[in-house]
Amino acid sequence: MRDLAAFTIKAFENGELGQVQRVLDIVDTWVCHGDDDVYELAIVGFIEDLSNGAMHDTTDPDIFERFMSARVKAEWDDLRAGWARLRDA
């Protein structure tokens, strides 16, 4: 999933916004229609990697929110809130 997140970041950096949207649409399908393993891979794999600031040289993780469905955005927010709680503990 790290490679897919890196691909998505690079696509954004290159202005390939259609590619970014396609990836996030696929992730939405995984989140909404995948079994438990696929769901976990989408969230703990891809979404976590995409939200990892260390993977971003010229971008910010927040720029990807506009490409997310409401369901993926909610998972994104939950994940990032959890990391913030751990960081602040």
| pLDDT for the residue 34 | 95
What digits encode the pLDDT tens for the residues 28-87?
999 999 999 999 999 989 999 998 876 778 888 899 999 999 999 999 999 889 888 888
| pLDDT for the residue 26 | 97
Estimate to the nearest angstrom the gap between the alpha carbon of 84 and the chain centroid.
16
Short-list 59, 77, 69, 56, CA closest to 26? 69
| pLDDT for the residue 82 | 87
Q: Is the pLDDT of residue 20 over 90?
A: yes
Instruction: Say what the pTM is.
Output: 0.86
Report the C-alpha gap between 68 and 84 in whole angstroms. Answer: 20
